[in-house]
Structure formats: structure tokens, C-alpha cells
Structure 1
Amino acid sequence: MTLRRIGSSHQPVEVMIDPGEEQPEGWGYAASLRWRLAFMRAVLVAITVGVISVASYWTVSSSLTSSVDEGLEEKASTLLERAQEPGFYENVEDEIAMLKSYNGDLRVALSPPGWEYVVGDSIALPADLPPSRGTPDSRIISGAGGERIVVMSDETGAVVVMTLQMDDIRRLVTSLGVLLLIISCAGVLISILLGFAISDASLKPLAQLQRAVETVARTDQLRPIPVVGNDELARLTVSFNEMLEALRVSRMRQSQLVADAGHELKTPLTSMRTNIELLMMASRPGSPPISEQDRHELECDVLAQMEEMSTLIGDLVDLTREEETNVLEPVHLNRVLETAVERVERRRHDVEILTHTVSWYLNGDGFSLTRALVNVLDNAVKWSPENAVVRVSMKPIDKHHVQIVVEDSGPGIPEEEREMIFERFYRAVQSRSLPGSGLGLAIVRQVVDRHAGHIEVGESDDGGTKVTLVFPGTQDPTHLSPGQPNPQ
């Protein structure tokens, strides 16, 4: 593993890099997002303008060539029609000269029917294109000098050959190509400049988000970012604000947990320190002696306070473990309940626990579920009078939910305190004189919530406390897959 330093100059961040993992390289990853957006826009414009320019160049060039070919065919056809008029061949040279006078670059050769020579210009034809006689025909080819040649014959056997130099048209097409190239280059340059401007405007919310992140990292202040618009960046800002709020709540809960834990630990620690100091003073030479009964009471107090601190620390560890555990696997819930009942029965033998269970399975954490059920049963047993009975029933309420009800015969919980008993370190008025951390039911609530369940507290039939827990799951274990949500 190696370290790579990233981030701004104000707040660099070191990130662990696995040397076995292939890292992306190249300009696309080294350049800034602003440059990449501008470059992609320039490439897109260049491709678009290039395609349009090539298509325009080819269209204009083909249109001009086609226009020349049509003009040559029209002139050749007209000349052949004139050749069929009486007396045409008596003035054939004048007719050709008149035709050429209106077309300066035009060369014309006419071979009358039955003649062995041509009238007009001497035009060399390709060897593979002999003049056709007696059959109406028309052919257009490109000459060696770049001119266009049309060869046309009619049914009388007359053949006309016309050529036209394409120098002017080639110059026009070349000028058009240069102009299109200049326009393409200008379009790409303008697209790059506009790409930077558009990128700056588009990435402005992202820049604000970056500054906000840097501010959070630098000042540790979780201030939300103003949301502008309703686009993807706005939704990203909303998600970031939600993350900040979750972080703020988590930090507040952590601070509150530390403060509450410190307060709860301070009381037994102070009392234990006082008792230990009294025992140390009594053991010093010359100190007033204390009776064996007082010494025994001090020692019992120290042991009780140590037990209280041990219980509190264990509950804090369980609470933290519940926040970090995410592994869920198939659990046989009624067996978990039976295990919890066995543990609680060993703590108090004068209270009977009657249970009624059914077979039920769910994806969960068996250790956490056992801990939660032990806490609920332990509270029921602790508050029950001597020779009382704690009733535990388990039954399905629908196809995918099961209900566990724990009822005792104790003093019950006032209605106004039934929701507060699930808060961390909260203890009801009547229980504050008894040992306990005030975290047991908070752990139960956290376990139930993590398993997508529900818990509520009410009054039992004989005035005691009734705790109802609802868990998802199924009676058929084949419907469960490890790591997957429970059936709903």
C-alpha cells in the first residue's frame, strides 16, 4: 500500500493506494473537468463541422459536374437535331463556329453520316470508346487533361463529340474547400472558447460544492449549501446537505453519548473512590479504627460500584456494537427466545416464566437478538413480585410478521414515560434507586429497528408492564437468503 496526496494546497488528504490495483492514467484523468468538457465540446463540433464541410464540398462539386454534363448533353443533342435539317451540312463549319462563340472553352467535333473525317476540332478519344454509328447513344467521360467529354450519336449515324475544360470549376471547388476548412477551424476555436465559458457556468454549482467541502474539512462547520435550480447538480447538493445533516446528528449523538456516559460513570467512580480512601485511611498506623461491620459494608459498596461500572461499560460496548454490526444471516427466532429465557431464569428462581413459541426464521444477528430479548425479560423478572409469573407468547400476526409479547405483574410504567424509557440513560422515577445503566431498553430499541421491527410498551391485564415486539421473517427457512432483506 502507498500513500498519494490529493486535494487543495490548504487541506491535502492522503489516500491509501493499492499497488496491485490498476490506476487510470492518461490526459483524460490528469486534466481538469473544465478542460475535459471544453475538449469534448471541441471534438464534437469538429466532427460535426467536418462532416458538414465534407458533405457540402462533395455536394457542390457533384452538382457543378452534373450541371456541366447536362449542359454538354443538351448542346450535343441540339447539334444533332440541327444536323437532320436540310442544308445543314452545307454550312456545318459556320454552325459549329456559332456554337463555340457562345461557349469559349467548348471544343466540338462532328462526324456526319458516312463521312470518314470530322468537322470542327480534333479531339482524341480514349481507345476503349469508339464512336457509335447508327445507334442512338450518349456517353460522358473525363479526359486525361481533366476536361469533361460527351460522345453522342443518333439513328442517322451522325456522331458529336464535345469537350469542356473544368479549370474554372476546379478553382471554384478548391476555393469552396479552403473556405469550408477555414470555417471548420474557426468553428473549433470558437467552440473551445465557448466550451470554457459554458463549462465555467455549468460547473459553478460544483465549484460551490467543492468550496463547501473544503470549508467543512478546514473549519469543521457543517453548514448546508444553498440549492439553486432542479438539475443533477442541485440534486447532488441536496444529497450532500442530507449527508451533512446525518453527520451533524451522528456527531451530536456521539457527543451526547460521551457526555451521558461520563456523567453516569462519574457517580459510581466518585463513590468508589471515597470508599477506597476511607479504607486506606483506616489501614494507616495511628488512624482511628473502624468496626468490622463498617469495613464489610465499605467493601460491599466498592464491589457493588465496580459491578455497576462493569455493567455500564458492557452496555456501552453493546450499544456501539449495534451501530456497527451489519452482517445478517438466517436465525431461528424461537430458539433465540428459549436461550434468553434460560439465561434470565437462572438470575431469579422465585419468578416463573411461562412461554409459548412457534417456529419462525428471519435474517438477523443472533447475538444481538438474544441480548435484546434478555434485556426485556430481565426487566420483567426484576420488577415482578415474589412467586409471580412472567408470560411470554410468540405467534404470527400475518404471513411475514411475528409478534412476541412479554407481560409481568409488576408496578407497570406510567403512560407518559413509556416512550422515554427507550432513550439512552433514561430511568423511570421508581427505578432510579435500583442498580442499572439506563441503556438496556435503548439497546433493545436499536436491535429492533435494525431488524426492521417494531416495539411498544403498554399495560398488562394485571396492571404490570406489557412489551410487544414485532419482527419480520417467515415460517419457511427456504425463503431466506443470507445478507438479503427479510420477506415483507
Structure 2
Amino acid sequence: MTRRLTLRARMALLTAAAVALAVAVCAAAGWYLTRNQLYHELDRRLGASIGAPPGPVPGGEPGPGGRFLHNMERQIDQALLMCRSDATGGNTDLRPFGPYEITQVVNAQGRACTIPNFGSLEVTAADARVARGDSDRALHNGTGVTAGGKTEDVRILTFPAQTTGGVRIAVSVAISLDEVEGPLDNLALLLVAVTALGVLLSAAAGLMIARASLRPVDELTGVAEHIARTEDLGIRIPAEGTDEIARLGRSFNAMTGALAASRERQQQLIADAGHELRTPLTSLRTNIDLLLRAEASGRDLPAATRHNLLVSVKAQMLELSSLVGDLLELARPDEAEPVRQSVALHEVVDRAVDRARLRGPGLTVRADTEPWYVQGDPASLERAVVNLLDNAVKFSPPAGTVAVRLAGGELTVRDHGPGIPAADLPHVFERFWRSPSARSLPGSGLGLSIVARVVAESGGRVALEAADGGGTLARVRLPGTAQPRD
């Protein structure tokens, strides 16, 4: 299995590669620009003495091309007469005219006719087209042999001309490429050295940039490792600025803060649950101990006392079962996807009212419901409505009345109990919170917490307020429709 490079190494490598590529591109561009400039100067020198294009030599003062042909008339005529393609020598002291090292004639058939002591050139198709009159000139690189017999790479210019007899020909002149290729080779070596140096410098710069850029990431890694080792969620990362690393640091701090709050809520839930479980468990154990001691001593308890103890045990078991059910409901993760289906809220309310009437036989529970369909979990919604009605039944006076109404998507539950003090209203939906006046009554303090959670999951809101004339009014607003959805 191959080992992957570290992020720092990859950043340094990518930075070095990017800089090296940029240096290489600039070096190549500089070399090609220099080459083009040198060739342009060479071409300018080639055409400086002949004009572009030269023509026949008429009477009067000849032009630049005419002067060239005028000086070469005899040699050109002799070359055409002999028409040899190899470099030849002669007794003449005449040397190539102007800056040219090699000069030769190309006849109308595209054949090279060398001039004695002027070297020879390879004839290309472009040169032949100029000789036939199909092209104005030809400019290209080629190979030539100087008058001294040395083979050289040359730059060749071929232009059309006419002999004194009016015969169409072409003349090729050439300059050695040594004065171009030599500097270009030296420049290429220099640019290669500069590029290599640039690669080394870019690698060093990339490593320094990677270290500086990843220093906040190293700090973040250290904090994460410290938290994993010590489980200390209170540590924070300094996050200054608006760049990506600062955003990452703030996100990490927000995450650890959320984890710390979640742990605190979990610990508080465990502590509150233990406190709430302690009372019924203690009472249950006491009652069971009395029954066991009576059984062990052989002295039977009076039937009424035994009955009362068993009734108390059953009530405590029911209270424990209800408390465990509430704890399981609250322990369900908030991020879990809740059940979402169409629920007939008016039917849920009607069933909850029937259960409330059984739990408060001496009370009057009036219900007025209109059809309303919401999206949510049927079981959870029914439990929430039952909790609201149980709360109203529990605090209603004997022979009191509980009014339940569902209209326009709003459910209201009104009792005529002692009401809730204004100072206690902000705490009624907290877990295990119970007002001082309700601590002597059965219950765990989780009912309204479950109501708030279920209503929030269904997209609604719930509130308690003091009712006119005394008592408490609970309002639950759930989004929905008066007609069922398909």
C-alpha cells in the first residue's frame, strides 16, 4: 500500500510545480521571442541589398536589386551557361556581394546553377516556384556549401530576376545561421539554468508557504487531539479574521460548544431522572418491605391495610412506567427524522378527551372540534394532547370544567384551577421543572416538555397563559388544512 504525501508536502509540491511551470513558460516564451527577433534581423540583412522584389536592369540608375544584378551580370550569365550544381572555383577575385556568404542562380527549370567562388545551395520547391514566376520570393532555412567547401546551415532568400537577354531566373543568397544559432544555444543553456534555479527557489518558497498556511490547521489539530485525549470540551481556538481557516476555527468552536451543551443537558437529564425516580422507588421499596416483614413474621396485615399497600404499589409502578415512557420520549435524538404523515387532529383530540374524562370522573370536559389535518406522528401528537388534558384535569378543582376547542388550526385547553404564577410561566416547558404548588401532586415534570417537543417537530408552537377569570389557558397552533391531503 502506497503512503500518501502529507498535506504540507502536497502544498509545497503543488506550489513548486506551479512556479516551475510559470518559469518554464516564461523562459520558453523569452527564447522564442529572442529567436524571432534574431531571425527578423537576419532576414532584414538578407533583403537590405537587393530590395523586395528586384526587377530587370533597365536603362538609367538601377534600384537596389538592379545594382546587385548589374554587378553580377557576367557571373550570372556564366553560371547559366555552365549550369553546374556543385560549388566551383575560378580565377576571379570577385566575392559574394554584400553580406552574403553564398549566392547561386536557379534557372526556369528549377535547377541550381552555381557561380564560381560563390558556393552552392540546395534548391527547394519554393525556390523553383520563384524561378518559374509562381511566387514573389522564398525565405527559408537550408544547407549550403561555401566557396571554401564548408557545409553550413544557412538562411536563404530567393528572389526573381531576369538576365540581360530577358530570360526569367531566380537568384538565391544565403547567410550563415551561426550568428543566430550560437546565441540561441547559449540563451537556452542560460534559461535552463535559470529554470532549474527557479524550481529550487519555488520548492523552498512552497515549503515555507505551506508551513505558514497550515500553522492554524496544526493548532486546530492539536486542539482536536487534546479534546480526544482529555474530553475537555471547554477549550477554544483563537479565530481571528475572515479567511477560511478562521471560519474553520469558529465552526470548530461552535461544534465543541454544542457538544459541551449536549453533554451538560445529558448529565442534567440523568441527574433529574435519578432524582425523580428516587421518590417512587423509595416508596415502592418501603411498601414491599412491609409486606415481606409481615409475611416473614407470620402476622398477617389487616385486609384493608394490605389492600392499601398493594394499591399504592400499583400506583407507584404506574408512575414509574409513565416516567420511563416520558424519559424514552425525551431521550429520542433531536436530529432523528420525525415521522411525517397526515393526521386528523380533530380525531386525536376527541380520543384524548375520552381518556381525560376517564381520568377525571368528577369533572366536566367539554369538547368543540372542527376538522383539521396536520403533518406529524400520530402517536406523538396524541400523547402531547393527552398530556395537555392531563395537566388540566390534575389542576382542576372537584366538579370543575375543562373546555377543549379546536378551530382554525388552533387547539385551546382551558381549566379553572389555581393558574400558574407569572414568574413560573417561562419555566413550564423545562424538563423536570415543577412549580412549588405542584410538587405534592403526582407527575414527573416531563409532560409539558414532551408537548413542546412534539409541537415543534410538527412545525407549530405552544404557549400557556393565565385565563380570564382564573385558571390556565393552553394554546397550540399547528399548520395544516381543513381538508385531508392526498
After TM superposition, the score normalised by the length of structure 2 is: 0.81
Q: Deviations over 1:72-96 (max 9, x none)?
A: 01123375242477x9869999996
Q: Does the CA-based 8 Å contact 2:373-2:480 persist in structure 1?
A: yes
Shift in Å at residue 387 of structure 1? 4.0
Q: Does 1:257 align with 2:242?
A: no
Once the two structures are TM-superposed, the CA of residue 118 in structure 1 deviates from its matched residue by 4.3
Q: 1:303 to 1:89 in 2, by over 3 A?
A: closer
The answer as to whether partners of 1:150 and 1:161 remain within 8 angstroms in 2 is yes
Contact 1:136–1:154 (8 Å) recurs in 2: no
The answer for the alignment partner of 2:121 in structure 1 is 124
Counterparts of 1:51-70 in structure 2, within 5 Å, are: 51-70=25-44
Alignment of 1:231-310 (within 5 A): 231-285=243-297, 290-310=301-321
Deviation at 1:321, TM superposition (A): 2.8
Q: Which residue of 1 aligns with 2:241?
A: 229
Q: Equivalents in 1 of 2:470, 2:267: separation in Å?
A: 38
Is 1:46 matched with 2:16? no
Aligned in 2, Cα 1:127/1:282: closer, same or farther, shift over 3 Å? Answer: closer
Given residue 160 of structure 2, which amino acid in structure 1 is its aligned partner? S
User: Which residue in 2 is equivalent to 1:176?
Assistant: 187
Measured in 2, the distance between the counterparts of 1:96 and 1:202 equals: 73
Q: 1:383 to 1:174 in 2, by over 3 A?
A: same
Given the alignment of the two structures, is residue 210 of structure 1 paired with residue 246 of structure 2, yes or no? no
The residue number in structure 2 matching 1:36 is: 10
Residue matched to 2:148: none
Query: What is the Cα deviation at residue 48 of structure 1?
Result: 2.3
* Aligned residues of 1:380 and 1:407 also touching (Cα < 8 A): yes
Opposite residue 42 of structure 1, the aligned amino acid is A
Q: Percent identity?
A: 37
Structure 1: distance between partners of 2:422 and 2:181:
99
Which structure has the larger Rg? 2
Q: Which residue of 2 aligns with 1:361?
A: 373
Local SS of the residue matching 1:415? coil
Deviation at 1:57, TM superposition (A): 2.3
Aligned-residue offset at 1:390: 2.0
State the distance in 2 between where 1:309 and 1:285 align.
29
In 2, Cα distance between equivalents of 1:96 and 1:47 = 53
CA distance in structure 2 between the partners assigned to 1:91 and 1:63 by the alignment: 34
Matched, 1:106 2:101: yes
The 1:127/1:260 distance shift into structure 2, 3 A limit, reads closer
Q: Give the secondary-structure state (helix, strand or coil) at the position aligned to 1:391.
A: strand
Aligned to 1:412: 419
Kindly tell me: are residues 416 and 237 of structure 1, through their superposed partners in 2, closer, same or farther at Cα, counting changes over 3 Å?
same
Matches of residues 290-439 of structure 1 in structure 2 within 5 Å? 290-321=301-332, 323=334, 325-332=336-343, 333-396=345-408, 402-439=409-446
Are the equivalent residues in 1 in contact too, given 2:217–2:245 (CA < 8 A)?
yes
> Following the alignment from structure 2 to structure 1, what is the Cα–Cα distance between the partners of residues 333 and 342?
17
The amino acid that maps onto 1:245 is G
- Conserved 8 A contact 1:275-1:302: yes
Distance in 2 separating the partners of 1:443 and 1:124: 102
Please tell me whether the aligned partners of residues 334 and 360 of structure 1 are also in contact (alpha carbons under 8 angstroms): yes
CA RMSD of aligned residues (A): 3.3
How many aligned positions are there? 441
Which string of whole-angstrom CA distances, capped at 9 and with x for unpartnered residues, describes residues 334-388 of structure 1? Answer: 3332332233233233333333333333332222111111100111122223443
In structure 1, list runs of 5 or more residues that go unmatched: 1-24, 397-401, 481-488
Relative distance call for 1:89 and 1:119 in structure 2 (3 A) is farther
Query: Is contact 2:338–2:457 with CA below 8 Å preserved after alignment?
Result: no
1:459 alignment partner, one of 453, 456, 466: 466
Once the two structures are superposed, residues 234-270 of structure 1 have per-residue CA deviations (whole angstroms, 9 ceiling, x without a partner) of: 1111111111111111111111111111111112222
Gaps of 5+ in 2: 52-62, 77-90, 108-112, 144-151
1:98 Cα offset (Å): 8.3
Deviation of the 1:453 alpha carbon: 2.2
DSSP-derived class of the 1:385 partner = coil
Deviates more, 1:207-216 or 1:270-279: 270-279
